[in-house]
Amino acid sequence: MPVFVYVAKDKTGKIHRGRAEADNEKALSKRLEDSGYWVSQVTRDETAMQKKGGFIFFGRIKPDHLSIFCRQFSTMINAGVSLVRCLQVLETQTTNERLKLVTRDLINRVEGGETLSRSLSHHKCFSPLFIGLVRAGEVGGVLDETLERLSIFLEADSKLKRKVKAAMTYPVLVMVVAFLIVTGLVVFIVPKFIEIFKDFGNVQMPLMTQILIDVSKFTTSRQGAIILIGGGIGSQIAWRKFKSTKFGKRVYDKYKLKVPVFGKLSHNIAVARFTRTLGTLLSSGVPILQAMETVAGAVDNETFYDTIMKCRSRVREGDSIGDPLAKSGLFPPMVVQMVSIGEETGALDQMLGKVADFYEIEVESQLQSLAAALEPIMIVILGVIVGFIVIALFMPMISLISSLEK
C-alpha cells in the first residue's frame, strides 16, 4: 500500500506532520478529516516506496524483535510516558527496518485518533493474539502489565521454536550430506566404472551391479533428469497447494498427530501452545469465550481448532471447560484435571501456566531423545547405501579376476 506524507491541523490549530498508508490521497484526507483534522497537504512518500520495493518490504519481523518491542513499550507506559511518545522512542530504538516503518504508521494512526489495538490490526505482523491482548489491556487500564505478559509469552514461544529447530538441525544436515554423497557417486563415479565394465566383454553383471547401472543411466540421462527434477518440484508445489486448502490442512493436521514418534511430539507442542496462550489471555483479562476463539487460531492445528471451538460452544451454553476437553480425547488426563481444578479454585490462568511449563519441558526432553536416536539411524542408512554402491561396483571386478585365475 502506498505511503503518504501529510500536514494537518487539529481543532486547537496545532500543526501535525506525519506519514500514513492509504489507497490514495483522497482516502487519507477523508480518514484524517473524519478524525477531526483539517488537511492542508498530502503527498506521496517516494522514499518509503523505494524502501518497500527492496529488502525492507519483504523482511520479516521476528518474535524476538516483537518481544523487545513489548518489553520496552511496557516499561515506558509504566513510567507514565504518553502513548505517542512511547512509539516515537520505539521507532528510534528498533534496528528492524520493517518494524520501524510499522511503528511510524502506528504513530500516525494513534495521533489520528485510533486506539492502539485498532492501529495494530492494520498490520499482518501482529497476530490476533497480540491485538487481543493489547485490546484487553486498553479496556482494563493495565496496558503495561499486558505488554509485559505478551513479551514473556513471545519469548517462551520463540524459545520453544528455537529448541525444535536446534534439535532438527543435525539430522537435516546429515540427510543433506547423505543426499549429496549418493548423488555424487551415482552421477560422477558410477559412469566411469560403467566405461570400465564395457571392456569386460560379455561378462554377466551381478544383479546389484545391473540395478546400480540402470539407476545411474536413468539419473544422468536428460529424460531422467527432467523427470526427477520436474517431479520433485511438481510434487513440492502440489503438496503446498494441497496443504494451503482448508481440506488439505485438515487432513495434514489430523495425520500429523498420528505419525509414530513425531505425532506425539506435535501433539505435545500443540498442548503446550494451547495452555500457554490461554493462560496468558486469561491472566490479561480477556473474556473466556474471546480467549478460546483466539487460542483456536493460535494453536495452528485444524484438529485442535475444531475441538477448542466445540468446547467454546459448550462453555457458552454454561458448561465448564474441563468436561468437553475430556470428552474430546485430544487432551491428556493431566491437562483436563488441572483445568478442572483451576476452574474450581478460580486460578485457571495459574494452572494453565504450570501445565504449559510441564509440557514445554516434556517437548524439550522428547526433542533431545529424538535427535539422539535419529543421528545413528541416519548414519547407518547412509552407510548401507554407500556400502551397496561400493559392493555393486567391485563385484564385477572380483568375478573377472576369479574367472582369469581359473
pLDDT by residue (tens digit) across 311-362?
889 888 888 888 888 888 888 888 889 888 988 888 888 898 889 889 888 8
Contact (Cβ atoms closer than 8 angstroms) between residue 306 and residue 376: no
Between 14-18, 29-33, 213-217, the lowest mean confidence (pLDDT) is in: 14-18
Mean pLDDT estimate for the chain: 82
d(CA 246, CA 255): 14
Query: pLDDT tens digits, residue range 181-193?
Result: 888 888 888 888 8
- Joined together, the cell numbers standing for residue 77 give 507506559
The cell for 124 is: 499482518
Model pLDDT, residue 49 = 41
Edge-to-edge strand order for the sheet containing 3-9? 15-21, 3-9, 38-44
Which 3 state secondary structure label does DSSP give 40?
strand
Tell me, what's the pLDDT at 211? 87
Query: What are the φ/ψ torsions at residue 3 (nearest 5 degrees)?
Result: -110, 135
Which residues in the chain are classed under CATH 1.20.81.30? 169-406
Q: How far apart are CA 406 and CA 384, in angstroms?
A: 32
State mean pLDDT over 269-279: 87
Bridge partner list, 39:
8
- Whole-prediction pTM value? 0.66
Q: Is residue 388 within 8 Å of 380, Cβ to Cβ?
A: no
- pLDDT higher than 80, residue 18: no
For the beta carbon of residue 58, count every other beta carbon within 10 angstroms. Answer: 9
Q: How does pLDDT run across 62-93, given as a tens digit for each residue?
A: 888 888 889 899 999 888 888 889 998 998 88
**What Cα–Cα distance (Å) separates residue 24 from each residue in 31, 243, 286, 301?**
11, 36, 36, 38
- pLDDT > 90: percent of the chain: 2
- With a cut of 50, say whether residue 52 has pLDDT above it: no
Q: Please check whether residue 296 is in contact with residue 309, taking contact to mean a CB–CB distance below 8 angstroms.
A: yes
* Alpha carbon distance 296, 128 (integer Å): 11
Query: Cα–Cα distance between 274 and 306 in angstroms, integer?
Result: 13
Phi/psi for 154 (5° steps) reads -65, -40
pLDDT of residue 59: 52
Q: pLDDT-based confidence at 51, cuts 50/70/90?
A: very low
Integer Cα distance of 178 and 176 in angstroms: 5
DSSP letter for 329, please: S
Asked whether the beta carbons of 256 and 266 are under 8 A apart, the reply is yes
Alpha helices in 185-287 (DSSP H): 190-198, 207-220, 222-244, 246-256, 262-283
- CATH class of the structural domain 169-406: mainly alpha
Residue 16's DSSP bridge partners are: 8
Q: Which residues are within 8 A (CB) of 274 and not within 5 positions of it... i.e. 6 or more apart? A: 295, 299, 304, 308
Report the distance separating Cα 104 and Cα 122, nearest Å: 13
Cell of 345: 479454585
